[in-house]
Structure 1
């Protein structure tokens, strides 16, 4: 097959795909089954909300006199250990998480993770006064352990059951709802700080960590299992019926037929190509090696761009600029997290119009500028003590998180799962969580030490990271906007992609069928 023929065939298949997409009614609110599927999505989004709640909870607890008294005023490395422990728990389970997703399924994996999170939340809320540290650390370890199981499966389920027309927005919304958990934690801790004075002040918001995984566990099995998982486990009819029911509204449309064939053939070719290579499949081909670099970069940038300073240690930052009142600190935390949620949600709906790469680059440049001004204002406040510089720091924190919301955290997970083919999607997402956890452990352990010993000078570390981030995004990141999952592989792998082979085969078969019809017509005319 020469290159001209390949190009012609690919163009024909793309026209067929576009025709199927354009003629299929994908207004989800008009299709009862697709509407039902999407109305169940908020229950899956709770996986990210659980992470956000835990991420902001420690921030709120640090402002509570009862929590500080109960845990003997932790600071420096001990406070860093409290913050980093979920990351250690997440790292332990990472080697097993993709096998849970691929062999137990997306739904069972999410349920298993929820059970560990529930256990961890209970342990965190009930440490004894005699030895509070051990039980509290064990609970935080289990929170990270369970969260990385459920978050290694839940985004896959969302991505793989969503209609291709809506996949980008829905998957991006998943991770932006980290901020919803952050808002809930900030509001809850402020409420108990104002209204309670006993140890219930910190035990109650800690125990409320059970709410999100508990609700998700109850509603999880109302959501269909991934059709790709069904096909991979030898149950193609279940996958076909799922696509007919939800993507065709009960009718086997032209688009549903194309989607089923594309998924089936692509998975078959991926299986044949990957053979028994296991984890080595992540680096076996040039395309997969590029995916690994993109995933690792995305994971590190999502944690090491200066955002973790405020996510976990806002109290120390506010104290450094003279804001020491616990209620004021908590109110600022509430306002900031609500604003971040609104910005991130708004940007999630723009991913298919603006594109991923543009959002990443805009966020990187904006974060670099605002963080640099933040650092300068913090330095001037330390030198002069003028309140104007402190107010400027508060303004730059809001601006920093506004531009960060263009891409982080929304695209961290959605971009990762988009660029991965099915056979390595679970392993690639695990790689993302591995470097997210490693970066988080580093940040959460090192940040309080750096802030304590260096103050605003510690911010220069993140300025350097942000410069590297902008350059990496500009020269290396690829765009995935508007493509079905199986077709995104072409952007990275080119003609070697399984989807490209499928396209060629389908086009070749189409040409052959057309040729046979033409021959039959000629014979008929001759007769």
Structure 2
């Protein structure tokens, strides 16, 4: 085993008072400067990423399916309510990122099968049981896929690739929306909802077959003492088969940092999430991100689009399904495009732009809803529909793409899995609010209920402006300096103080 106490040479420079992302990632030994698609092994790695994106696509399909099923009279006859998607214990640190993904996919397939084929004797109970099982599987899969992506991706592309992962949620929503639209108009009886429900097996099925084509996380392997295997993966994909100076530097930074994290941690338990000031700040931002991602007004449309459209006179099931399908395509295109801006514009800027844009469009949405209720003006109703699209266009700047990618990158390896679990716990709690409180509020107050979300968006914008930390520039390990200061355990004891201070300065950029 190599001596992990050797110095890791890190080239750095400052640009506009912050860290130049390219210089921060380059060792004295120049890495391959070609674009990723001209590097054979890196190209292979990234061509495998879409399989992992299917973890997010599965979630999007499920969420949009609920909207689509609400428009189907046959489904309403069979089922009168919704089951809460429960979170399951996190297994990524025990079994690995790939094995965790495989286990989650198998559970999702089982749950979807039960939902699609419940017995006639007690269909409600079995459908809810299927949703419970599927919720367990989807949470496992979505807790492992983004970890594997961010930990195996080349440092230069980490932000973009990990952010793209959660935009695939909308791709699943598109498939579900148009599938339910088609079955609503062309399929009769129970098959109209059984068919789109059963198709939930397709995406996790493909992922289950393909997941072992993707290499395991080098960081997880190092954490398990498998240094040679980890270095082999880094050499193959980040060095195109050659053990370059860059690969050596990257391997040493990762291995030294993980060793120091283990030495500094009081334990491997959940208490480590809040033991230090830096970790407490991470948890605070993760909780805010999880809640804002679900409770900024977007939950009204994500789960109850049918009820929202009813308030502006759009009651035809076919029209509602078509709007749902068009909205998901729009959301996917916007969020996917914005995923490529994370390293150019910065995470904090995208979060703030999304918050301000959502606040403006939602305020107009609320005003137009009031006009429509009082006057029945058709133009006001159309304006509400337009604001829904503008609202989601603004949301696409940051949500959902950065919800997962920002969470995983601000966490050090030793608590990354647990911190992502924390994100999903609060996402689930926010989902409970959406599923139980929103319909009550809409039924009791109609458009007046929107004022709750106007207030939430004001708080959200203030929180992002004052508390969110910019993470553009530093490597996955060096981000710790932004939260723990220049004395953070990064890249070994030999990491120069001025290098740590330089990285820390980037949080103000």
- Normalised to the residue count of structure 1, the TM-score between the two structures is 0.89
Match of 1:180 in 2: 171
Q: Does structure 1 conserve the Cα–Cα contact (< 8 Å) formed by 2:177 and 2:324?
A: yes
Q: Does structure 2 conserve the Cα–Cα contact (< 8 Å) formed by 1:10 and 1:503?
A: no
Residue 111 (1) aligns with residue 119 (2): no
Q: Does structure 1 conserve the Cα–Cα contact (< 8 Å) formed by 2:10 and 2:28?
A: no
Unaligned runs of 5+ in 1: 1-7, 509-527
State the distance in 1 between where 2:92 and 2:153 align. 17
State the distance in 2 between where 1:264 and 1:135 align. 47
Match of 2:3 in 1: none
Give, in angstroms, the shift of residue 497 of structure 1.
Answer: 1.2
Residue 37 (1) aligns with residue 45 (2): yes
Give, in angstroms, the shift of residue 372 of structure 1.
Answer: 0.8
Go from structure 1 to structure 2 and tell me whether the alpha carbon gap of 1:325 and 1:503 turns closer, same or farther (over 3 Å shift): farther
State the distance in 1 between where 2:332 and 2:423 align. 22
Go from structure 1 to structure 2 and tell me whether the alpha carbon gap of 1:358 and 1:12 turns closer, same or farther (over 3 Å shift): closer
Q: Does structure 1 conserve the Cα–Cα contact (< 8 Å) formed by 2:365 and 2:387?
A: yes
The CA deviation string for residues 127-157 of structure 1, in whole angstroms up to 9 with x for no partner, is 2334221111111111111111111111000
Deviates more, 1:276-285 or 1:388-397: 276-285
Match of 1:404 in 2: 395
Which is richer in helix? 1
State the distance in 1 between where 2:498 and 2:466 align. 34
Match of 1:64 in 2: 72
Q: Does structure 1 conserve the Cα–Cα contact (< 8 Å) formed by 2:252 and 2:491?
A: no
Residue 391 (1) aligns with residue 390 (2): no
Give, in angstroms, the shift of residue 120 of structure 1.
Answer: 0.8
After superposition, residues 83-162 of structure 1 pair within 5 angstroms as: 84-86=83-85, 89-90=86-87, 93=88, 96-97=89-90, 100-162=91-153
Unaligned runs of 5+ in 2: 1-8, 500-509
The CA deviation string for residues 175-231 of structure 1, in whole angstroms up to 9 with x for no partner, is 011000000000100010111112110100000000010000000000000000110
Give, in angstroms, the shift of residue 17 of structure 1.
Answer: 4.8
SS at 1:46's partner residue? helix
Match of 2:427 in 1: 436
Match of 1:511 in 2: none
After superposition, residues 328-339 of structure 1 pair within 5 angstroms as: 328-339=319-330
Which of 202, 223, 242 is the aligned partner of 1:211? Answer: 202
State the distance in 2 between where 1:316 and 1:493 align. 46
The CA deviation string for residues 235-264 of structure 1, in whole angstroms up to 9 with x for no partner, is 100000000000000001111010000000
Residue 191 (1) aligns with residue 177 (2): no
State the distance in 2 between where 1:503 and 1:422 align. 20
Larger Rg: 1
State the distance in 2 between where 1:251 and 1:441 align. 50
State the distance in 2 between where 1:135 and 1:492 align. 46
State the distance in 2 between where 1:504 and 1:148 align. 37
Go from structure 1 to structure 2 and tell me whether the alpha carbon gap of 1:383 and 1:129 turns closer, same or farther (over 3 Å shift): farther
State the distance in 1 between where 2:30 and 2:295 align. 41
Match of 1:475 in 2: 466
After superposition, residues 42-53 of structure 1 pair within 5 angstroms as: 42-53=50-61
Q: Does structure 2 conserve the Cα–Cα contact (< 8 Å) formed by 1:47 and 1:213?
A: yes
After superposition, residues 226-265 of structure 1 pair within 5 angstroms as: 226-265=217-256
SS at 1:496's partner residue? coil
Go from structure 1 to structure 2 and tell me whether the alpha carbon gap of 1:495 and 1:303 turns closer, same or farther (over 3 Å shift): same
State the distance in 1 between where 2:138 and 2:441 align. 27
State the distance in 1 between where 2:246 and 2:284 align. 33
State the distance in 2 between where 1:382 and 1:17 align. 56
- Normalised to the residue count of structure 2, the TM-score between the two structures is 0.92
Match of 1:342 in 2: 333
Go from structure 1 to structure 2 and tell me whether the alpha carbon gap of 1:63 and 1:465 turns closer, same or farther (over 3 Å shift): same
Go from structure 1 to structure 2 and tell me whether the alpha carbon gap of 1:240 and 1:501 turns closer, same or farther (over 3 Å shift): closer
> What root-mean-square deviation, in Å, do the aligned CA atoms of Structure 1 and Structure 2 show?
2.0
SS at 1:412's partner residue? helix
Give, in angstroms, the shift of residue 458 of structure 1.
Answer: 1.0
The CA deviation string for residues 352-397 of structure 1, in whole angstroms up to 9 with x for no partner, is 1111000000000000111111011111111111111100100000
Paired residues, what number? Answer: 484
Which of 290, 307, 311 is the aligned partner of 2:298? Answer: 307
Deviates more, 1:495-504 or 1:400-409: 495-504
After superposition, residues 356-371 of structure 1 pair within 5 angstroms as: 356-371=347-362
Match of 2:504 in 1: none
After superposition, residues 478-489 of structure 1 pair within 5 angstroms as: 478-489=469-480
Residue 27 (1) aligns with residue 26 (2): no
Give, in angstroms, the shift of residue 21 of structure 1.
Answer: 8.2
Match of 2:451 in 1: 460
Match of 2:481 in 1: 490
Q: Does structure 2 conserve the Cα–Cα contact (< 8 Å) formed by 1:480 and 1:488?
A: yes
State the distance in 2 between where 1:21 and 1:279 align. 39
Match of 1:519 in 2: none
SS at 2:26's partner residue? helix
Match of 1:525 in 2: none
Deviates more, 1:444-453 or 1:173-182: 444-453
SS at 2:485's partner residue? helix
SS at 1:427's partner residue? helix
